[in-house]
Structure formats: structure tokens, C-alpha cells
Structure 1
Amino acid sequence: MAACLNPPRLSSTEDDSVILFSTSNSPQDSISPSSSSFHHSPPPSLHQFRTAYKLSVRNLSYTLQPYKTTSFSFCHQSKTPEPLNILNSISFVTRSSEIVVVAGPSGTGKSTLLRIMAGRVKDEEFDPRSISINDLPMTSPAQLRKICGFVAQEDNLLPMLTVRETLLFSAKFRLKEMTPKDRELRVESLLQELGLLHVAHSFVGDEENRGISGGERKRVSIGVDMIHNPPILLLDEPTSGLDSTSALQVIELLSSIVKAKQRIVVLSIHQPSYRILQYVSKFLILSHGSVVHNGSLEQLEETISKLGFQIPTQLNALEFSMEIIRRLEDSGSMYETSIIEEKEPFPHLMWPEEENCGIQIAQSQCTKESFSSLCYAYLIEILFLCSRFWKIIYRTKQLFLARTLQALVGGFGLGSVYVKIGRDEGGVAERTQSIPFCLHLLHFCGVAHCAHGKFSCALLKCSIS
């Protein structure tokens, strides 16, 4: 299993090329956040991050297939819903040290595009010819999930865990090959990098329990998906629900990561301010699932002026483009495929051919020893989940007391059923009749947990992806 999941080490000139499928054990460069920004970070070492990455999306299309339903109407035949085209031939290229903003009106496919790039789709819905990294095509969503970090719009965080514990549990799930000491060093380094040292021992909190601020919660969500040091980071509206100052701090944090680590950041955003626009390298504007602009802010301003419009002083070019999105879509000359085509070849420095074994774990090449190692890894994850569950239950005093009383009362209640029951045929019949009562009692005791099932499932997927 270890041989399948871990590619062989390359020479010193190719060490950074393995970083896509490995995790650095060394502490990352810290960021000293000021009161309003995070861009006072020390320069990274020259030998640590010198591998350049290129993310290419070519003719990416996505169609939402309707679910097959059975009609029970006898009066008329129900109309079969037609497939819905979400994305139509999306193409763009981005390289290391760039921040790409995906913008557009609601319902244009921004979140769908990010989820496909992050590998959050089914295998049958994925086009292996549409996405490539360093000119190597991604053949399955599993490869993208391993390479890319994805921060969803909703913060899937447990309110009764501290910031440090949240990052540490994420490290336990994603950095199982590290020793506990190395994981703690990675978490401490990431806390300093994200500017969260002052709230490391504060609870995350939620609507009912007071915790950290909204901007700090968003930084914790980013840290959860940065714990394994991905070369590509995708964020779905990271500034949604934040005030202008917190939104600026989040963008400044992403900018410092991009510059220090030479990473690629692709994010969707709504109504960015003037201060945010200066950190963005490219803008990808979508309308009805198609690209109407792919380029810098200066190119967008030039295109708007060519269409005969003048940008109002109270709006920036991106905000004004949302008001004339139909004209941009009808112009036809906005977006040309030649813009994204690049002449120079990109060096294939990403991973060796043996890495295919790491992606296709279920292949017949995996031996019996690999299967036992996989079972052991699952057992370790279950122990981590039990530890986290116990910590949450213990900290919720009222819930802990209620669960204890529930177990005691339920145990005595089930035990009382068998009091003074004979050993004859009548006693056997009474024991048999008590089984449905026991099952109903246990069923209604577990109904209270159904409301948390959807949140727990999303949290588990976020932890182990």
C-alpha cells in the first residue's frame, strides 16, 4: 500500500515535482498579520517552492441530467424534464502565483465549475480530456481531489472544537503518514501562517454558542483544506457574508499564500471592492454557462470602452460588467480561443508513471498486504472519529448528562421487561413479544440524531477528501 500511495523520491532538482502527491513535513513560512493585512510575510526559501504549475481547462462542458421519476397520473402523460446545460465549452489557463476570479450573475455555473475542477463530481460525469495540470490530463476526479484543495461556501466546522483542534483533526485524517509531533508542528505553522495564533484555543462556535468571528471562521475553513499543502486551492465565494474589512483580510491572506508558495488560487466572488481587485491576476466572467471575458482588469476596461460604454465613477469595471453582461455576451469578440492557447510546451515534472497505482487503489495490482494496510487506515480513521465525538459530547454538558440518563433509564427499562418471567413456554412467548418493544425504544432514542446526519456527512467528506 505504501508503495502504491507514495511515489519514489526523485533527485534534488525534481523534489518539488513530487509535492502534488506528497506532504511537506517542514514548517511553512509564517505570516505576521497586522491589524488590517497579511502581506508582510518573509520571502520563502528558493529551494522550497521552485516548481511551476499550470492548470489548463479546455472545452469543459457539463449537463445536468434529470432524475428519472415514475408518474402516477392517469389523466395525462407527464412531460419528461430535459437535460439542463450548466457549462458550455469553458476554457482558460492559469499558472503559479496567480489568483483567478470567476465572476458572473447568479446561476451561471460558477460553483459547478469549481466543483468539477476540484473533482467533486461522479466519475461518469467527468470528462478526462477537459482538465490538465502541467499538460498532463486528469483522467479521474480522484486525481483532482488529491491535488486540489476545495473550500466550500458553507463553513463545515464543529462549533465545540477549538481552532487548533479543528486543524489537528484535519491533519490526522489527511496526514496519516506523519508522526504526531510532525502533525502538531504543521498545525502550529499553519496557525501562524493564517494569523490565528491569538484564537488557537478559542471555540469555533455557531449561532447558539459564541465563538470566533466570521473572517476567522473562513480562515479556519481555508486552513482545513490547506493542511496537506495543495498546489491548487479552489474557493467558492470565500468573502460571502463578510464585511469589507474581513473580506479584504481573506483576499490578502490568499495573495500572500500565492506569492510565498507559488500556488494557484481560483475563487468565485460577488461584488468585489476596489481594494480586492488589485490582488487578482485574471478575471473569468461567465454568462449562461459560457465565457464572455478571460483576462486582466485592464483588458476588461478596454473591452467595455470599445463597446461604447463609460464606467461610472462609483463602480469598478467588474461591477459594471455585470450590468452590461448581455452586451458582453452578444459582442462575440470578447473571448477568443487563441487567448488561452500557449505556444511553449510545459515540462512534465509532476509525478512518475508509478503514481497511477496510487490513484487506482482498487486495481488488481494491489496485494493482500495493501488491503490489510487499507483496513488498518480505516480503523485509525474510526478511532479519530470516536475521539472527536467523545470530545464534543463531553464538552456539551447538558447533552452529556442527557445521554447518560437516557442510557441508564433505557437500560433499566429494557431490563425490567425480563423481571419475573418464567422459563416455561409462556415465558418464552413473553420474551419474544418484548423484542418489538425493545426495538421501538432503541429506534426512538436514535431519532434525535437524524437532524445532524446531513451536517455530519458533509463534515466527514470534507475531512477525508
Structure 2
Amino acid sequence: MRTILDNITGEARRGELVAILGSSGAGKSTLLNCLSGRLNTGTLTGSITFAGRRRERSTWKSVSAFVEQDDALYPNMTVRETLRTAAYLRLPSSRYTRDEKNAQAEAIIKSLRLTKAADTRIGDGLKRGVSGGERKRAAIGQELVGSPDVLFLDEPTSGLDSNSAYAVIENVRSEAVRTGRVVVLTIHQPSIEVLYLFSKVVLLSEGATVFFGPPDDALAHFEQLGLPCPPKRNPADFFLDILTIDHDLESEPARIRALHDAYRGLEKERKLESGAFSGEIEDVDVFDAREEPLGGWANSWWEETGILYRRAWTEIFRNRPLIIAEFAQTIIVMLVMGLAFLRLDNDTRGIQNRAGILFFWPINQVSL
């Protein structure tokens, strides 16, 4: 049996932005899925605690949110409509009125600096809409309207230029500090400006931790190991060079094991200095206790169905090429079928033909 993650430990406190860094195949996405409760395969051992208690799957989705790497947004909806729809779905009507849900969406628009793009459609590859950075912030805003205590982001800067990437991470960090939210994200190769927005970094290699802590402490740790960061070098690139293993070299596995052992030794020293060492390093995430989250769905089945129905119809009616194509297709099929079955005789063959068209027409409509 293959071990993908091994002896991962750490903590995240409110208002902190924690980044998971590593080369491809290091286990970044697997660790993020473990923490977010999205891991559906394999065997997971250890403990993940929230607010001083073991994480409960029944309520975890009520206090956490996950933003996918690929944004799933409706291209014909505006940013404001997108966030309002998310607020209608995520905020319980038993606690919030419709006006309060709208106000929550407006607050997120303002905090993520989306005011200028609020009434712009999202757009897609065929239709021009918001910019890449604004699209990513809208996707993040969809999750923030539910006021999650913990926010997970999978490669939030993927496909963005350096300025847009910095704007996205800076907005997320400001929101985390303002609300006391914990943010955990994976990122591949951040710029130096983005790197120093992170409170802590988790450096992974071959599924194990090479370092966990502030970026400057990571540089000091590697310098003590005889691996100083060259001048004028982006520390993030320096970290990736250390973490990347060349499987063609026989010495590489031993080098990575030495880095793992060095961090375990540092971790034990930290525990001894804090007086918390008990012979075993535990995986404990420390959070301040807050109001007990609600379990179950935020709104009734009928209410959510109505919200989704309105969103679907808005998307369809704004897609004029699709409406024209569907209408033209219906007219063409109607004419073809009408001509094919024109002037049927009132005999056995005519009855069979009429039965055929009564069967074919509903099947054709369903498949459109």
C-alpha cells in the first residue's frame, strides 16, 4: 500500500493565511482534500480538530467552504447576481431576511473590490466578461457569503498574471484578518510579494513535511542546514528547488529523508521549548470556539428549487444564440416530420405511421 501523506502536523489560527507549497506530486491537493473533508478514497489516520473538538462531518460543511481550481460560474449572470444567488442558497431563511442576504452579498462585493465589476456578466470563452482576477474573486465570493470559519482554496492563482494573483491573495488575506477566518490554500509558484502575504507555509516533499512556519523561519531553517537562499532569488523558487526530487539520481531519496528528519528534530525542539512535548507530536489545529454551527440544509427543498429554477431561466433567456438555435431546430424538425408524414391513408399502414410519429416526436423533444 502506497503512503501519500506521512506524519503531517500543524496548526492554523484565526486570521491566518496558510499556504501549502510543493512540487507536482508532493501531496498538496491530497492534504487540502484531507483537511476539507473531501477525500473519498484511501485510508486516513490521525486527528483533525476544530474549535478544540474533533472535526464532525455532519457539521463541517456548515463551517467550511472550498473553492475549486476551475471556476464553475454561469457566464450570463452578473457578479452581483452570482453572489446574491449564493447568499440565497447558503444563508438560512430562518436567520436572514432577503434584504439581509442581499446586504451580505454587497458586503462581500465591497470587501473583494468587485464594485466596478458588480453589474458585469461573468462571461466565458465566447463572450467577453470580467477579467481573470475578477472572475476568481467572484468564485471566492460565492463561498464567502456563507460566512465560513475555514476557507480552502485550490490553486487560486492558476492562470493569472502576477498582478492579478497578488490582488486575489491580498484580498483573501485582508478578508481573513478582518473576519478572523482561517484560510488554507495550495499554490505552486508564488511571486515573492505573494509569498510574504502568507502567515505560514507548509513545505511538502514526497508526502511529508519539510518545514511548517513563517517564510522567514523557513529560510533560517534551511540556512542552518547549509542551504542558504542565493541573493536576489525568489524564496518560493528556492523552496521548490529544495523540495523537488530527481528520481534519476540515487542520492535524492536520502537527501529528502534528511530534510524530513531535520524538520522532525526542529519540531521536537519547538515542543520542548513550549513545554508541550509529551513524547508524541499530535496533529491539532487550534481555533477559538464560536457559535455551534447548524447541521442539515440552510433552506427548505422547495425554496432552493425555486432559487435554482430562477437562476437557470435567467441563464437561458440571456443566451440569445442558444434560444435562436433551439427555435430554428424545432421549426426544421417540425417541417421535416410534417412532410414525411403528410397525407397518411386511413388504413393499417396509416395507423402504424401515426403511432410512429406519436412515439418519435416526444423522444426528439426530450433529446433536444
Q: Same fold (TM over 0.5)?
A: yes
Partner of 2:114: 196
Question: 2:193 is matched with which residue: 272, 275, 279?
Answer: 275
Change (3 A) 1:263 1:319: same
Question: What is the CA deviation profile of residues 270-321 of structure 1, one whole-angstrom value per residue up to 9, with x for unaligned ones?
Answer: 2222222322111101111111111122321122112212311231333212
Counting matched residue pairs gives 344
Q: Indicate whether 1:133 and 2:50 are aligned.
A: yes
Does the Cα contact within 8 Å between 2:192 and 2:234 map onto a contact in 1? yes
What is the distance in 2 between the residues matched to 1:210 and 1:426? 54
Q: Indicate whether 1:207 and 2:135 are aligned.
A: no
Q: Alignment partner of 1:164: what SS?
A: helix
Whichever residue aligns with residue 173 of structure 1, its letter is L
| Correspondence list, 1:268-307, <5 A | 268-307=186-225
Partner of 1:44: none
Gaps of 5+ in 1: 1-82, 362-373, 447-465
Q: Indicate whether 1:151 and 2:74 are aligned.
A: no
Question: What is the CA deviation profile of residues 250-269 of structure 1, one whole-angstrom value per residue up to 9, with x for unaligned ones?
Answer: 12112211221111111111
Q: Alignment partner of 1:204: what SS?
A: coil
Partner of 1:334: 263
Change (3 A) 1:410 1:84: farther
Whichever residue aligns with residue 330 of structure 1, its letter is A
Instruction: Give me the identity figure in percent.
Output: 32
Does the Cα contact within 8 Å between 2:14 and 2:287 map onto a contact in 1? no
What is the distance in 2 between the residues matched to 1:347 and 1:206? 39
CA RMSD of aligned residues (A): 3.1
Q: Alignment partner of 2:7: what SS?
A: strand
What is the distance in 2 between the residues matched to 1:238 and 1:395? 28
Question: 1:174 is matched with which residue: 90, 94, 102?
Answer: 90
| Correspondence list, 1:58-457, <5 A | 84-122=2-40, 127=44, 129-140=46-57, 142-177=58-93, 178-325=96-243, 327=255, 329-331=257-259, 332-336=261-265, 338=268, 339=270, 343=276, 349-350=289-290, 358=295, 377-410=300-333, 426-434=349-357, 437-438=360-361, 441-442=364-365, 445-446=367-368
Deviation at 1:442, TM superposition (A): 3.8
Does the Cα contact within 8 Å between 2:156 and 2:187 map onto a contact in 1? yes
Change (3 A) 1:261 1:340: farther
Q: Which moved more, 1:225-234 or 1:385-394?
A: 385-394
Question: What is the CA deviation profile of residues 47-91 of structure 1, one whole-angstrom value per residue up to 9, with x for unaligned ones?
Answer: xxxxxxxxxxxxxxxxxxxxxxxxxxxxxxxxxxxx543222322
What is the distance in 2 between the residues matched to 1:310 and 1:131? 34
Change (3 A) 1:423 1:117: farther
Whichever residue aligns with residue 333 of structure 1, its letter is A
Deviation at 1:127, TM superposition (A): 4.4
What is the distance in 1 between the residues matched to 2:127 and 2:72? 15
What is the distance in 2 between the residues matched to 1:231 and 1:279? 19
What is the distance in 1 between the residues matched to 2:355 and 2:175? 65
TM-score, length-scaled by structure 1: 0.66
Deviation at 1:223, TM superposition (A): 0.2
Q: Which moved more, 1:216-225 or 1:204-213?
A: 204-213
What is the distance in 1 between the residues matched to 2:142 and 2:334? 40
What is the distance in 1 between the residues matched to 2:73 and 2:198? 28
Deviation at 1:382, TM superposition (A): 2.5
Whichever residue aligns with residue 226 of structure 1, its letter is L
Whichever residue aligns with residue 395 of structure 1, its letter is R
Partner of 2:248: none
Whichever residue aligns with residue 212 of structure 1, its letter is V
Q: Alignment partner of 2:310: what SS?
A: helix
Deviation at 1:159, TM superposition (A): 1.3
Change (3 A) 1:147 1:126: farther
What is the distance in 2 between the residues matched to 1:115 and 1:269? 14
Gaps of 5+ in 2: 246-254, 278-283
Whichever residue aligns with residue 175 of structure 1, its letter is L
Q: Alignment partner of 1:286: what SS?
A: strand
Change (3 A) 1:239 1:403: same
Question: What is the CA deviation profile of residues 388-411 of structure 1, one whole-angstrom value per residue up to 9, with x for unaligned ones?
Answer: 222122212121122223344545
What is the distance in 2 between the residues matched to 1:102 and 1:427? 70
Change (3 A) 1:201 1:347: closer
What is the distance in 2 between the residues matched to 1:235 and 1:208? 27
| Correspondence list, 1:38-77, <5 A | none
Deviation at 1:385, TM superposition (A): 2.3
Does the Cα contact within 8 Å between 1:169 and 1:384 map onto a contact in 2? yes
Does the Cα contact within 8 Å between 1:292 and 1:329 map onto a contact in 2? no
What is the distance in 2 between the residues matched to 1:125 and 1:416? 59
Whichever residue aligns with residue 264 of structure 1, its letter is V
Q: Which moved more, 1:142-151 or 1:342-351?
A: 342-351
Change (3 A) 1:347 1:311: closer
Change (3 A) 1:351 1:411: farther
Change (3 A) 1:143 1:416: farther
